[in-house]
Structure 1
Amino acid sequence: MESPLIKFLSFRICAALIAMALVPTVAIGQPAPQPDPGSVSMTAAENREVVLSLADVMRQRFAFEERGAAAAQEITVLEQSGVFQNARTAAELLSLIDTQIAPLVNDRHFRVRYMGPEVIATFSEAPPSAEEIAAYNDEVRLRGGEIPEVRWLAGNVGYLRINMFLDAEPSTEKLGAAMSMLADTGALIIDVRGAPGGEPAGVANVIGHLVAERTPTVRAHDRFDSSASRTFYAEPRSPGFANKPVFVLIDGGTGSGAEEFAYDLQAIKRATLVGATTYGAATPGGFRPLAAGFAAFIPMQVVTNTVTGGNWESIGVSPDIAVPSEEALARAHRLALEAILESAQGVPRAIAEEGLASLEP
């Protein structure tokens, strides 16, 4: 059954209401599950149409004009050489695109997927209806705002896991509720290991709970639409954790918008990052339709941090304390308790000492 969000999400994609997400999943902000490309037969003519339509999209929509034009030219040359003509299935063509074209594009958000003509036909520039927006918000709500876990750890340390950074009212509500539950904790651990991404505005919403004053996060530049270029700000939110130690767990599966969250906090020295270097995908974009039921996720904006002037593309975000992903929570928990004990007195200190004593050596 087709998701009621398809038209809404297609609008977000095609109208370039840009989101940052690392991998195609069933999560909010992504297309519906795709058919099996291994069962879809392809002809030489269809292969040619797909590849040349990809070259056109790269030329017209890629975030970096010169790189997009150069990649489009190289893709065209490859197609003319016959590299793709013998692909017999959509899966074989996708494999060739991954090995022959992806290195030319050289951006970690770029990918091509087979979605089927029916899904591609739903891509639309038309704004979503009120009913479609309501369906979107309902699904965000039913997914818990993509905040699947909130709990206390020994010693009065708060733990919050975020799967996606969404700028949606239900997500903001769930975030506020989670933060309220943890308001009395002495330190906060936010886990974004394996989190594929989200939206810059969603990132700013979370950072708003961690800062005491209005704080710029990233600048998004759109060479196609100057009205879409903007600076995002984290507005202070209640309950606030501005005076409490914050630790962020990251790993190689932390991508895109989730990487921005870690990068932004590291840039303003507001959190300690624990874990492993992140994936390295910093250029947001959206799926653009190609020929024969294919679609390409094309990076379409350039995002830079307002403090560093740079981003994490291809290099990822490095942790302040490097440990294997599976050890990150235990290490951060100990660090959080030690941070609490630097200033805690009375009952808070006794609880933190009790928590520290309960940890494995």
Structure 2
Amino acid sequence: MTTSTNLVPSRIVEETAQLLVDHYAFPEIGERLAGLLRGRLADGAYDVGGAAELARLVTADLQSVNGDQHLGLKHHTDPVPARKGAAALDSIRRDFDTSLGGAPRVELLDAGVAVLELAPMLFPLDWTADALSAALTLVSRAEALIVDLRANRGGDPDTVAFVCSHFLDERTHLNTMYWRDGDRTEQSWSLPHVPGARFGGSKPLYLLSSGQTFSAAEELAYDLQQLGRAVVVGEATRGGAHPREGWTVHPHLEASIPTGRAINPVSGTNWEGHGVQPDVPCTAADALDRAHALARTRLAG
């Protein structure tokens, strides 16, 4: 592993290429991308003096084959530890501490409609369970609920299952993950019990989406939409369905490589590339008002 703060593009690119071969969820594409990086390196495309510029160039090449937005060479201004996944954890911890644990807004609108914002991400469940349980218990008494995912950039699949569990009455198969490492699948189900109160599986539920909604937040919307449990209001989401791992390949650079893919038990596929398509399309700015109007009309009916 590259440990010196001196930038040696050849070492960084070669290490990233090998990580693709060893871990990318799609082995054939991983081999192809590794060859692309090595060819570009030989052509002098990465002869740059700064880590940020190298990250930009390599990321563009990594995403040029299949558009996988989880693939990239991420630049970090502050040095990150060498252990796998450390860069992401250090970054999101700061966001966790400044967002009330990922539930920065709970509000009661008229007609008994509550709004719960989940942002900027769905943090690891062992961090956020208490905060989310408190927020979800608070809104459980509402007549209808709007969950705002417009500014949510992803997070932990276990947290997706935890949140979904509050909106379902029975234990339900939510998603299946295929993992390259070990060539295995892993099912995700809603929980038989939650620590607080459930909103339940029958009252009106609306999810707000935007072009910035990404990754695990997309899974939350997609799972509930496919089950027919929620109405998605807003814009098509970004389209990232491949969970990633991060490897530090330089003190300021992290190779982000998807190691799995989602398989929804209803659709048999996922939202990769095209995003979650809203049931009620509108601009992200108008989504809250639209969902509130829909909720009031349904409750009145």
Query: Could you tell me how far apart the structure 1 residues matched to 2:148 and 2:95 are?
Result: 22
Letter in 2 for 1:148: P
- Matched with 2:217 is 258
Equivalent residues of 1:59, 1:72 under 8 A apart = yes
1:93 matches 2:49? no
SS in 1 for 2:147: strand
Structure 1 unaligned residues grouped into runs of 5+: 1-39, 127-131, 343-361
Where structure 2 has 5 or more consecutive residues not aligned to the other structure, the ranges are none
- Residues 173-212 of structure 1 aligned to structure 2 (within 5 Å): 173-212=130-169
From 296, 313, 320, the counterpart of 2:279: 320
Corresponding residue number in structure 1 for 2:65? 104
In the TM superposition, what are the counterparts of 1:37-56 in structure 2 within 5 Å?
A: 42=7, 46-56=8-18
> Structure 2-normalised TM-score?
0.88
How far did residue 92 of structure 1 move?
2.4
Larger CA Rg, structure 1 vs 2: 1
Shift of 1:143: 4.2
Distance 2:136 2:19 in 1: 42
| RMSD between aligned residues | 2.6
Aligned to 1:78: 40
Q: What is the CA distance between 1:323 and its match in structure 2? A: 0.6
In structure 2, give the amino acid aligned to 1:285. R
How much has 1:291 moved relative to structure 2? 4.4
- What's the CA shift for 1:137? 9.5
Name whichever structure is richer in helix by fraction: 1
Q: How much has 1:182 moved relative to structure 2?
A: 2.0
CA distance in 2, matches of 1:268, 1:208: 13
TM-score of the two chains, using structure 1 as the length reference = 0.74
Classify 1:88/1:292 alpha carbon distance in 2 versus 1 (closer, same or farther; 3 Å): same
Give runs of aligned pairs for residues 264-275 of structure 1, distance below 5 A. 264-275=223-234
Q: Distance in 2 between matches of 1:243 and 1:117?
A: 47
* Local SS of the residue matching 1:255: coil
Q: Cα offset for 1:117?
A: 9.3
Runs of 4+ deviating beyond 6 Å: 136-139
d(CA) in 1 for partners of 2:222, 2:232: 9
Structure-2 change in CA distance of 1:328 and 1:117 (3 Å): closer
Distance 1:160-1:88 versus aligned 2 partners, 3 A rule: same
* CA contact 2:143–2:203 (8 Å) conserved in 1: yes
**Code of the aligned partner of 2:137:** S
Q: Does the residue aligned with 1:99 lie in a helix, a strand or coil?
A: helix
Equivalent pairs counted in the alignment come to: 289
**Percent of residue pairs bearing the same amino acid type:** 30
> How far apart are 1:93 and its partner, in Å?
1.7
